Homo-oligomer: A and B are copies of this chain.
């Protein structure tokens, strides 16, 4: 699993930390990356502060791909461009192609606001996904996405051609046994199947405690072998469901 491309997310959102809104973008990003075979290794939610953004983006940029969310509007608390520029020690400057897109907007406060949004870190690439009029911004391996969830999702979905990893297969077994009762069986399966990633999650329901064992791996065969091995290590009556990898 270690050769799989990685991704890191930097959610720039004081509004999430102050409980004004919930972060809707991380779940969307996690699902999208997983479907594309990319391993999301870390998500950090931070305040709108230039130094903090710079430090976090720099740290995150060790991943194959970085996704930032938020802080790209025209107001005082929109500091993502300055933060990303500081992360890579480049200036912020107006991008000619973005200025050009402004040409149809009549003079006035709206145009002034949009004009501020043409200031981006030097070296920023403009990506033009099919069917999108407005470009998506990328500096090095950092995709710079808006925080508004509907815009975030739409821009993310269009990045398919730029982000793709090897296939990932997944399955799970849900048992009727409590996790504390089957620790040895889980450990044994983990030991016998080093090529897959195994997760064990307790489920607490009024009727009793159960366990969900998840298996992710690079081939259908490897995932299925671990699931079948675990299933065989339990009494038949304690298996609630088995989901084999699809595809």
Contacts and interface: CB of A to CB of B under 8 A. Distances in A.
A181 B34 CA distance: 39
Interface residues of A, number: 61
Nearest to A214: B20
Contacts of A41: 17, 46-47
Interface stretch (A81-89, A136-144, A198-206): A198-206
A17 B44 contact: no
Contacts of A150: 204
A77 interface: yes
Residues of A contacting B: mostly: mixed
For this chain, the copies found in one complex come to 2
Contacts of A48: 199
B183 A116 contact: yes
Contacts of A182: 109
Interface string A177-200: 011111110110010000001111
Interface of A: 14-23, 26-27, 30-31, 33-34, 39-48, 52, 73-77, 108-110, 112-114, 116, 148, 150-151, 178-184, 186-187, 190, 197-202, 204, 214, 216
